[in-house]
Structure 1
Amino acid sequence: MAYVPGIALLAALVVGCSAGTGTGGSAPDSKPGEATVTAAAPGKYRTLLDPCRAVAPSSLKDLLPGTAELPEDQRKKVYDGTATVTYDTDRRVGCRWKSEALGSSRTLFIDFERVVSYTPSVSDDDRAREVYAEKEAAVGLPSDADTAAPGSTKKQTPPASDSASGPAPHSLSGPAAKDKKTDEPADSSTHGNGNGTTAGGKADDTDSGTTGSSGEPEDSDENLVPRTLDGIGDSAFLNDVPAQAGSTAQSRTVSVVFRTSNVIVTIQYTEQPTVSTMVPDSKELQEKAQSLARKLVEKFSE
């Protein structure tokens, strides 16, 4: 009987706690009217491919004319590429290759950016869509191109201001960085909007970008304006920009940018002639850049 008062006291405490909550003993975990925020799903990719190993030697042989004829040690050095300096290889990496051939040089640059959202309610994929849309807008494409209906191809002339097709080969400071040496004409009065016409709308016979060996244009100027692409990742677009190289020679850079889940890939493929009589073949550069983009999509899917 000496323990009865203790038992009675314990029972009184239990009853008091239950009565205080008013919920049968369960304490409230949130304030009235307060919504619980559910964290968005993380992106598919947590790491990035090694960019300098992402392109097969067979592809590099096709993209870098003249390299196959070099001595083995020099050929290996070209195929190894040069990695972009970066401080977080899980977030951004890049690689550059360059070859010298008779009459011109080719430069290939690829950049992988893994987008991460720091807003709990916004997924990595959604944030990547926003970053990708900014890149589209930078070249003059509609902002809703990422949600375009399958099979549609939108075309629009880039704005008169500076345009960008992706990050500059030497800078990874932001999503819309650009390489002005290759991505914009040196003289807008001559090159106009980069689609083979001058600022006044007259045809520019010296800059079609698609002139064959015979000197006759092979492609419509329609193919030189920025446009979305189908069948490459979740979304993709192409930009084709001529630029003045030296005093008279014309260089041309074709950029393909695509998104696969929360990773954005930028390809910049440039041809720079060493003589003024040679004009880069826009069609060839576009086809090779798109072919590489499709192979990189497969690499990320492995």
Structure 2
Amino acid sequence: MQRTARTRLAGAAMAFAVAGGLTACTGGSGGDETGGTSGDATAAAEPAPPGRYRTLPEPCGAVSRDTLEQMLPGAAAKAEQEGDEGGASATPSPLEGEAALTYDTDRRVGCTWQSTTSLGSRQLNVDFERIVSYDSEVSDDEQAELLFERRAEKAGVGPGEEPSRTPEPDAGTETDAQGEGDAPDGGSGGGPDAMAGAARDGGRAAASPGERSETASPDSEDTPEDDGGSGDDKAGEPELGSPSPEPSLPPRRLGDIGDAAFLDDRLRTSADGRSAHRDVVLLFRTSNVLVTVEYSQSIADGRRTPESAELQQYARDLAQQLAEQFTDG
């Protein structure tokens, strides 16, 4: 009897163990099905949309001849002279430009133009960069915006700064007459024309922080003709620059070019004070493309500096033309 009871108890224990194992397997199977469904839903999430632009313009043909002739004094005359002389030239014509070396013209292209006269030189560079995001959760536009903000911060332009607008064409005369009127959009000392006018008229506009211009010569009546050299060489040159140290218009955001834009302005003078060089860089974003316009002027005359307002206005006008090409396309 005892042996029979023990056999029955052992059989009951085995049956209970088997039933518990089946229950555990059933629960585990249910958990796997739930996890698989969640993973499939995540994998099915749509990636960020691609950028609007897939190609870039031909850089050396993006700037019109009229614009180049205005921004590069003396270039047209040199191009005509080379055409009259005939023959192949080792260097490209000043108005043709020189394309930047690139390995993928759908990702980045650029072109440089330069003109030189007896009074100095000017250089123009345009650069087009198409941004592509390699993160499926970040769109091309978002990646371009991120890179734009990084470069703006590097130039000293804060993210919360109020963008400025392009002044009216005739605003310079009116602003000069008003003197130190209210600055548009919170700018200091008036707009570009106002500050340029103040410098030319002997105004006492304070130089911006970091300005390193040379002190003005006491003789304020000097003219470019007094500097020597033939008048023919200077005939194609517009205003040489400010006869007194003009304050640089500060780096700032611009509100009327592309989706976002900022401008940077840097003035450098030689150690001996005999020459000055100004770089104006304007960067704007349109969708997933970053466009950089860099316009520079060098003057071999320690009594003058390249005019900040003039160079900035040329850069802004060109940037607006380039932005319109993307809009029209």
TM-score interval w.r.t. the shorter chain? 0.5 to 0.7
Partners in 2 of 1:138 and 1:60 — Cα distance?
A: 29
Aligned residue for 1:70, secondary structure, equals helix
Q: Where does residue 50 of structure 1 map in the other structure? A: 58
Are 2:70 and 1:62 aligned? yes
Are 2:65 and 1:39 aligned? no
Are 2:132 and 1:107 aligned? no
Deviation at 1:37, TM superposition (A): 2.4
Question: Please, what TM-score do these two structures have when normalized by structure 1?
Answer: 0.67
Q: 2:311 aligns with which of 268, 285, 289?
A: 285
Equivalent residues, number: 229
**CA 1:38–1:267 in structure 2 vs 1: closer, same or farther (change >3 Å)?**
same
Q: 1:95 aligns with which of 111, 119, 122?
A: 111
Partners in 2 of 1:89 and 1:143 — Cα distance?
A: 31
Amino acid at match of 1:82: E
Deviation at 1:72, TM superposition (A): 2.0
**CA 1:198–1:277 in structure 2 vs 1: closer, same or farther (change >3 Å)?**
same
Partners in 1 of 2:72 and 2:94 — Cα distance?
A: 9
Aligned residue for 2:67, secondary structure, equals helix
Q: Where does residue 170 of structure 2 map in the other structure? A: none
Partners in 1 of 2:78 and 2:45 — Cα distance?
A: 60
Are 2:137 and 1:117 aligned? no
| Identity across the alignment (%) | 36
Q: Where does residue 132 of structure 1 map in the other structure? A: 148
Amino acid at match of 2:36: K
Contact 1:93/1:113, CA 8 A, preserved across alignment: yes
Q: Where does residue 196 of structure 1 map in the other structure? A: 207
Q: Where does residue 232 of structure 1 map in the other structure? A: 257
- Greater share of helix residues, 1 or 2? 2
Contact 1:251/1:273, CA 8 A, preserved across alignment: yes
Amino acid at match of 2:157: L
Deviations 1:83-125 (A, max 9, x none): 1111111111111110012411000011100000111111110
Partners in 1 of 2:267 and 2:95 — Cα distance?
A: 26
Partners in 1 of 2:279 and 2:242 — Cα distance?
A: 22
**CA 1:111–1:56 in structure 2 vs 1: closer, same or farther (change >3 Å)?**
same
Partners in 1 of 2:131 and 2:150 — Cα distance?
A: 13
Deviation at 1:287, TM superposition (A): 0.5
Deviation at 1:212, TM superposition (A): 8.4
Deviations 1:223-281 (A, max 9, x none): 62110001100000111100124742111011110000000001110000122223111
Aligned residue for 1:79, secondary structure, equals coil
Q: 1:253 aligns with which of 275, 279, 282?
A: 279
Partners in 1 of 2:163 and 2:133 — Cα distance?
A: 26
**CA 1:126–1:197 in structure 2 vs 1: closer, same or farther (change >3 Å)?**
closer
Are 2:99 and 1:83 aligned? yes
Q: Where does residue 179 of structure 2 map in the other structure? A: none
Amino acid at match of 1:300: F
Question: Please, what TM-score do these two structures have when normalized by structure 2?
Answer: 0.61
Aligned residue for 1:254, secondary structure, equals strand
Instruction: Name whichever of 286-295 and 28-37 sits farther off.
Output: 28-37
Contact 2:124/2:296, CA 8 A, preserved across alignment: yes
Amino acid at match of 1:31: G
For the pair shown, the structure with the greater C-alpha radius of gyration is 2
Deviations 1:153-206 (A, max 9, x none): 5879xxxxxxxxxxxxxxxxxxxxxxxxxxxxxxxxxxxxxx93566x999745
Aligned residue for 1:80, secondary structure, equals coil
Gaps of 5+ in 2: 1-32, 84-91, 166-183, 189-205, 218-238
Partners in 2 of 1:255 and 1:226 — Cα distance?
A: 9
Q: Where does residue 289 of structure 2 map in the other structure? A: 263
Contact 2:283/2:293, CA 8 A, preserved across alignment: yes
Partners in 2 of 1:141 and 1:282 — Cα distance?
A: 17
Gaps of 5+ in 1: 1-27, 157-194
Q: Where does residue 215 of structure 1 map in the other structure? A: 243
Partners in 2 of 1:133 and 1:106 — Cα distance?
A: 28
Deviation at 1:150, TM superposition (A): 9.3
